């Protein structure tokens, strides 16, 4: 058996110490790309004696397993004039090795930095340790008695270089490396014993339920997709058991050596909980599997304010001195590293719970968290994905329909002119240089503003002066933050610095999938936006970090639209999972005589819609939700319903407010989930695409009907019109991409609240004649094939007939 660890991960894990201090970690998110550029720049100028990117591997043997320590030395310099009798050959090089020339060998470790290199007093210890590992490996492979190490620091902005030199003999490096491996052995021993236990349990694991109709085929599709290293897009109606149908075959593939780690990623807390519960269920069936639920920093932080430095937070002070003991404690006493377990351990060892949570992901077999841990260019888990190397990771993407807009959001950037002016006022009396750079940016924005009436497209030439000014501002902000750990304006500068860094990072990604434009708001506000219209390329690049990706949702129609925008390729697979529910227990009614079109909105139309609602809920007492295209439309219909139809003795209305805190949301849902008041109907007025139209699970009589007013089309705005134009120009139906498909998804999500279990019986009423157009009927899921076309005059009798069949 083999255990693999990189040189960098080894030294950073074993040798870390000291405090968490966010005051000293302000480098932009593009530091890695820039660092790569600096590496190449230095390596090209080093001459014939310099051998760049030399792969090195050392195998440390134990009685039970081998530890493979590997990595790439940035450079190895072999030059004449040293104390070594024979020139050591580089791996793969030719030579008889007996020339008798004396040579010296230097291991070069290059680090790009935004710090002022002239202020550095010494090399960073963990950087030196990394170089010493390479020196040890190269030395023992080539029989060296003596070796030199050079730390090369290069400022990314100025390209100035500073060197730190060290000399080591063989005995010194042998002792140092032996001690390092001695500290790592307890972790490797645990990993060895756990892997044996885990793999055996996976091979013996059986599906924890009797297979529902079509479920065994779905499990097989997932397994085969992982085997073939492809992506699979699954439209999985409610009740299919999509979570277990994705996790079980992923675990089985893991057990067959087709996976190194499973990432279960989703947009909502509730679905993360379902995934955690599903893994716990498989544990009860014998599975040995360690999992971690990643929780956002602001939610898991013990302090009232999230200030990650030793002056403010006692958990940050000395965190790295205690963290490895905390990890080992949790690792050896639990398999489920959920929020409660992480918080208990963090308190016991006085370490940061968020950092402990992230560190447990290194040892977890399954990682459950938000999309951003894979896809966001700022938040993604660098400990797994930073090297850009494809590993045997299995990605399970739940509620995948949400990833289109989330992808656009993560890969877009916006800056507002007013923010530059606001920061100018803050720094004016503290930092003249920064003030001038802010003013330079403001001047460029003012030029663009004068050319903009509503919104204006920009090209590279239009953007260039502003980007140059912004780059200079970024460097000035970096200098200020480096020199002012406790500066009066530091907080405001740091917040804006992150915004600027994000903008510059996204600017480097600009290609044909982006639209760049300026926008003038009605209040005079002016902004410049880098809009990722098609996120497919960026999402696809992230998914190539793993072996296989399974994307699934209850509403992934039309599936080719989602496959296109979520980074699917022609050879990737798609499947429609059949619903397991009795279709007769659900009835879909489509109105032919009302609409939410703007051109038809009138008092009479509002009255007819309110009359529909009244006639629908009058046929059976129970809980209903009505979904509207906006809060304004909701209020208009509610007022009519209240004035003409509401019988407060029979019906209680609840209205979704525009801004509801977590407590208010819970109280709203609790009324539906709680016991029904005898003889009374509960009617919720909600908004399509809002907090109650997706991700809530109201089973059995908690919700017996959903009435959906309108087709869910997003409101017309500049962003939607830009989307429409972009796809029109590429021969697609821009209206469908910008409006119809996203709108229909909201309709399907709202309708999906009704039937949640095999015991549920309910109705879905679509109040808009546009649903009867062929373009909409083609988007109906298979379970809606037997929809009924109705009018206001007919609706009461039709629904009464349906309920009579089931009561």
Of the pLDDT bands very low, low, confident and very high (cuts 50, 70, 90), residue 387 is low
Lowest mean pLDDT among 89-93, 357-361, 403-407: 89-93
- Given 3-state DSSP classes, what are the helix, strand and coil percentages for the chain, each rounded to the nearest 5? 45, 20, 35
- pLDDT for the residue 24: 59
Specify which of 108-112, 385-389, 481-485 reaches the highest per-range mean pLDDT. Answer: 108-112
pLDDT digits (tens, 9 = 90+) for 128-157: 999 999 999 999 999 999 999 999 998 877
Token reading at 382:
């660098």
Q: Is the pLDDT of residue 83 over 50?
A: no
Long-range pairs for 646-652: beta carbons < 8 A, 24 or more residues apart: 649/680, 650/621, 650/679, 650/680, 650/681, 651/617, 651/680, 651/681, 651/682, 651/683, 652/677, 652/680, 652/681, 652/682, 652/683
Four-CA torsion 207, 209, 210, 212, nearest 10 degrees: -100
Whether residue 84 has pLDDT greater than 70: no
Query: How is the chain split into domains, by residue range?
Result: 2-187, 227-289+365-410+535-580, 301-364, 413-532, 583-806
pLDDT value, residue 270: 82
Q: What is the mean pLDDT of residues 566-594?
A: 92
How many Å apart are CA 397 and CA 382, to the nearest integer?
A: 19
Residue of 792 and 38 predicted with greater confidence:
792
Q: What is the pLDDT of residues 8-60, one digit of tens each?
A: 999 999 999 999 987 755 444 445 555 667 777 788 788 788 898 899 999 99
More confidently predicted of 292 and 479: 292
Worst-scoring range by mean pLDDT, 69-73, 78-82, 197-201, 639-643?
Answer: 78-82
- For residue 28, what pLDDT is reported? 47
CATH 3.30.1120 fits 2-187, yes or no: no
Is there a common fold for 227-289+365-410+535-580 and 583-806?
yes
**Is the separation of the CB atoms in 394 and 253 below 8 Å?**
yes
Question: What is the CATH class of 413-532?
Answer: mainly alpha
Residue 623 in contact with residue 681, Cβ under 8 Å? Answer: yes
pLDDT of residue 367 exceeding 50, the answer is yes
Q: Is 227-289+365-410+535-580 CATH 3.40.50.300?
A: yes
Residue 99 has pLDDT above 50, yes or no: no
Residue 443 has pLDDT above 90, yes or no: yes
* Residues forming beta bridges with residue 336, ordered by sequence position: 291
Q: At 677, is the pLDDT very low, low, confident or very high (cuts 50, 70, 90)?
A: low
Q: 676: pLDDT confidence band, cut at 50, 70 and 90?
A: low
What number is the average pLDDT over the span 522-539? Answer: 96
Lookup: tokens for 536? 């497919």
- Spatial separation of the C-alpha atoms in residues 298 and 316, rounded to whole Å: 15
- Arithmetic mean of pLDDT, 305-322: 93
Mean pLDDT across the chain, nearest whole number?
A: 91
pTM higher than 0.85, yes or no? Answer: yes
pLDDT surpasses 90 at 484: no
Please tell me the distance from the alpha carbon of residue 610 to that of residue 623, in angstroms, as a whole number.
17
Mean pLDDT throughout 746-756? 90
Superfamily of domain 583-806: P-loop containing nucleotide triphosphate hydrolases (3.40.50.300)
Nearest to 702 by CA among 711, 712, 710, 692: 692
For the cut 80, the answer to whether the pLDDT of residue 674 exceeds it is no
């Amino acid at each position: 058996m083999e255990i693999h660890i990189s040189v960098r991960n080894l030294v950073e894990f074993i040798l870390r110490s000291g405090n968490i201090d966010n005051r000293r970690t302000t480098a932009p998110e593009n530091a890695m790309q820039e660092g790569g550029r600096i590496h190449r720049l230095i390596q090209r100028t080093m001459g014939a004696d310099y051998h760049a990117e030399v792969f090195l591997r050392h195998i440390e043997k134990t009685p039970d397993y081998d530890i493979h320590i590997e990595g790439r030395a940035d450079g190895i310099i072999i030059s004449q004039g040293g104390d070594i009798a024979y020139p050591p050959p580089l791996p793969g090089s030719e030579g008889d090795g007996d020339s008798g020339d004396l040579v010296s060998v230097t291991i070069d470790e290059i680090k790009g930095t935004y710090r002022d290199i002239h202020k550095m007093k010494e090399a960073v210890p963990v950087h030196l340790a990394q170089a010493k590992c390479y020196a040890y490996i190269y030395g023992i492979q080539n029989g060296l008695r003596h070796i030199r190490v050079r730390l090369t620091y290069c400022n990314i902005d100025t390209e100035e270089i500073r060197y730190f030199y060290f000399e080591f003999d063989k005995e010194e490096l042998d002792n140092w490396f032996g001690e390092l491996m001695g500290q790592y052995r307890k972790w490797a021993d645990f990993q060895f014993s756990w892997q044996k236990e885990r793999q055996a349990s996976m091979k013996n694991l059986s599906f924890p339920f009797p297979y529902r109709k079509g479920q065994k085929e779905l499990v097989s599709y997932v397994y085969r997709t992982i085997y073939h290293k492809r992506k699979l897009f699954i439209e999985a109606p409610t009740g299919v058991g999509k979570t277990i149908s994705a996790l079980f075959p992923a675990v089985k593939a893991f057990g067959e050596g087709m996976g190194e780690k499973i990432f279960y990623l989703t947009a909502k807390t509730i679905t993360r909980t379902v995934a955690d519960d599903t893994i716990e269920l498989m544990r009860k069936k014998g599975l040995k599997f360690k999992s971690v639920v990643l929780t956002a920093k602001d939610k898991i932080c013990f302090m009232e304010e999230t200030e990650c430095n030793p002056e403010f937070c006692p958990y940050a002070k000395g965190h790295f001195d205690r963290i490895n003991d905390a990890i080992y404690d949790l690792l050896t006493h639990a398999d489920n590293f959920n929020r409660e377990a992480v918080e208990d351990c963090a308190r016991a060892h006085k370490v940061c719970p968020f950092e402990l949570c992230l560190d447990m992901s290194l040892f977890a077999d399954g990682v459950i968290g938000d999309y951003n841990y894979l896809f966001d260019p700022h938040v993604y888990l660098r400990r797994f994905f930073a090297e850009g190397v494809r590993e045997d990771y299995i990605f399970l993407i739940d509620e995948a329909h949400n990833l289109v807009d989330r992808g656009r959001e993560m890969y877009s950037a916006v800056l507002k002119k007013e923010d530059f002016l606001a920061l100018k006022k803050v720094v004016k009396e503290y930092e003249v240089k920064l003030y001038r750079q802010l003013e330079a940016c403001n001047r460029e924005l003012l030029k663009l503003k004068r050319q903009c009436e509503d919104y204006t497209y920009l090209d590279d030439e239009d953007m260039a002066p502003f980007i140059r000014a912004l780059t200079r501002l970024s460097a000035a902000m970096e200098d200020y933050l480096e020199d002012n750990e406790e500066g009066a304006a530091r907080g405001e500068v740091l917040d804006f610095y992150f915004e600027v860094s994000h903008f510059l990072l996204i600017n480097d990604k600009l290609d044909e999938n982006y639209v760049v434009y300026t926008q003038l708001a009605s209040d005079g506000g002016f902004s410049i936006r880098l809009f990722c219209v098609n996120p497919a390329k960026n999402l696809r690049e992230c998914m190539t970090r793993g072996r296989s990706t399974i994307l699934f949702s209850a509403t992934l129609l039309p599936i080719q639209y989602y496959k296109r925008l979520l980074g699917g390729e022609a050879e990737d697979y798609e499947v429609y999972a059949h619903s397991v529910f009795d279709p007769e227990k659900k009835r879909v009614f489509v109105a032919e005589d009302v609409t939410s079109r703007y051109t038809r909105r009138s008092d009479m139309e509002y009255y007819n819609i309110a009359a529909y609602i009244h006639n629908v809920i009058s046929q059976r007492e129970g809980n209903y939700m009505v979904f509207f295209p906006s809060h304004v439309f909701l209020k208009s219909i509610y007022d009519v319903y209240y004035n003409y139809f509401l019988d407060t003795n029979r019906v209680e209305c609840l209205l979704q407010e525009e801004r509801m805190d977590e407590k208010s949301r819970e109280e709203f849902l609790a009324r539906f989930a709680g016991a029904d008041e005898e003889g009374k109907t509960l009617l919720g007025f909600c908004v399509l695409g809002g907090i109650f139209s997706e991700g809530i699970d109201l089973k059995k009589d908690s919700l017996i009907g959903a009435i959906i007013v309108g087709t869910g089309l997003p409101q017309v705005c500049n962003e939607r019109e830009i989307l429409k134009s972009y796809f029109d120009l590429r021969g697609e139906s821009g209206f469908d991409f910008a409006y119809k498909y996203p709108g229909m998804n909201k309709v399907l999500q709202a309708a999906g609240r009704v039937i949640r279990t095999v015991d549920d019986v309910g109705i879905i009423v679509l109040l808009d004649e546009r649903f009867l157009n062929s373009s909409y009927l083609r988007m109906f899921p298979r379970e809606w094939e037997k929809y009924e076309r109705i009018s206001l005059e007919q609706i009461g009798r039709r629904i009464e007939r349906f309920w009579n069949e089931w009561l």
